[in-house]
Amino acid sequence: MFTLTQLTCFLAVAEELHFTRAAARLSMTQPPLSRQIQLLEHELGVRLLDRTNRTVRLTPAGRSFLGEARRIVRQAEHAALSVRQVSTGESGSIAIGFTAASAYSALGALLATSRSALPGVEILLHELVSRDQMEALGEGSLDLGLIRPTAIGADLTSRTAVREGLVAALPADHPLATGGDGPLELAAFQGQEFLMYSSVEARYFHELLLTTFHSAGVRPVFVQYLSQVHSILALVNYGWGVALVPEAAASMRYAGIVYRPLHLPDDPHPVELDFVWRKDNDNPALTALLELL
């Protein structure tokens, strides 16, 4: 079978139509160049070049083979470049898990960073609650998770992605929605019909709000338990109750919802989101992304 070296030599001679110039272009002497052409012609069983002491011309077979030789060399160069880019994290793919709430905050910055700094890397997104992301990370089907703080095993590592506050989401005709623009005190939710997070699918937010209300001595009336922020906001929009959501979720605008800031004296930014990944993950693209983050 012919070699890439033989093809490269043939292309140089075919394009220069002069052995001396082709040899100089390839930084080699003329005898080994001629030898490579002879080996290629022997392998193919045809003459590719008609050469005399004065001229070099492509034969019909040589003209036909020229395009194929160029294509093969280009493909080989592309393959070499691609594998180098994969090894350095410049190409490849990263499977990223995210929660619905994280789509309003850290996910946007993450995607912007990867697109601008790693344009050759394909991002594969999977919307999963934190519990399912942990399972997927353990199985190796996710490279990176955007997960609410939770206990992680020794095979995982984490880094804080973002911290943010809570805001009150109120039906537009609710008395708390028309009480001004200043921060609401937690005491304002005493006895209010409240849309609460599920203790299973949204355990982090469920426990965060229970602790927050308990510390303030406030007892809302939980009328529904839901797992996703957008579902809670939909019910607020329908007037089914009030809710507390991450600050970033206030970017979701509904005609029937008023957002008001919340006064949290102990910790004004209690909502945390973490990047989580396996310590033994050897995906070069993930390594490159983590360095950027």
Tell me the residue length of the chain.
293
Tokens 């110039």: give the residue.
21
Query: Do 292 and 169 meet the contact criterion of CB atoms below 8 Å apart?
Result: no
Binning pLDDT at 50, 70 and 90, where does residue 11 land?
very high
Report whether pLDDT(233) > 90: yes
Residue percentage of the chain with pLDDT more than 90: 56
* Mean pLDDT for the stretch of residues 130-137: 88
Mind listing the pLDDT tens digit for each residue in 138-187? Answer: 888 899 999 988 878 889 999 998 999 999 999 999 999 987 778 999 99
User: What is the C-alpha separation between 229 and 237, in angstroms, rounded?
Assistant: 12
- Give pTM, 2 decimals: 0.65
Cα–Cα distances in angstroms (integers) from residue 202 to residues 46, 169, 197, 209, in the given order: 72, 18, 6, 11
**pLDDT at position 87, please?**
64
* Mean pLDDT for the stretch of residues 225-230: 91
* Mean pLDDT for the stretch of residues 4-12: 92
Q: Which are the contacts of 246, defined by CB distance < 8 A and separation ≥ 6?
A: 101, 104, 105, 164, 165, 166, 167, 229, 271
User: What is the C-alpha separation between 61 and 4, in angstroms, rounded?
Assistant: 18
**pLDDT at position 96, please?**
93
SS3 state of residue 35: helix
- What is the layout of strands, in order, in the sheet containing 166-171? 243-246, 166-171, 257-261
**pLDDT at position 182, please?**
83
Binning pLDDT at 50, 70 and 90, where does residue 209 land?
very high
Binning pLDDT at 50, 70 and 90, where does residue 129 land?
confident
* Mean pLDDT for the stretch of residues 122-133: 88
Residue 263's region, left for phi above 0, alpha for psi from -120 to 50, else beta, is beta
Mind listing the pLDDT tens digit for each residue in 82-127? Answer: 677 666 666 788 999 998 878 877 888 889 988 888 888 889 999 8
Q: Which are the contacts of 152, defined by CB distance < 8 A and separation ≥ 6?
A: 134, 158, 276
* Mean pLDDT for the stretch of residues 218-236: 94
SS3 state of residue 85: helix
Q: What are φ and ψ of residue 142, in 5° steps?
A: -120, 140
Q: What does R_g of the chain's alpha carbons equal in angstroms?
A: 32
**pLDDT at position 141, please?**
86
Higher pLDDT, 233 or 80: 233
Torsion of CA 225, 190, 207, 174, to 10 degrees: 50
Query: Do 243 and 195 meet the contact criterion of CB atoms below 8 Å apart?
Result: yes
Binning pLDDT at 50, 70 and 90, where does residue 46 land?
very high
CB atoms within 10 A of CB 131: 16
Residue percentage of the chain with pLDDT more than 70: 96
User: What is the C-alpha separation between 38 and 18, in angstroms, rounded?
Assistant: 15
**pLDDT at position 89, please?**
63
Tokens 């206990």: give the residue.
151
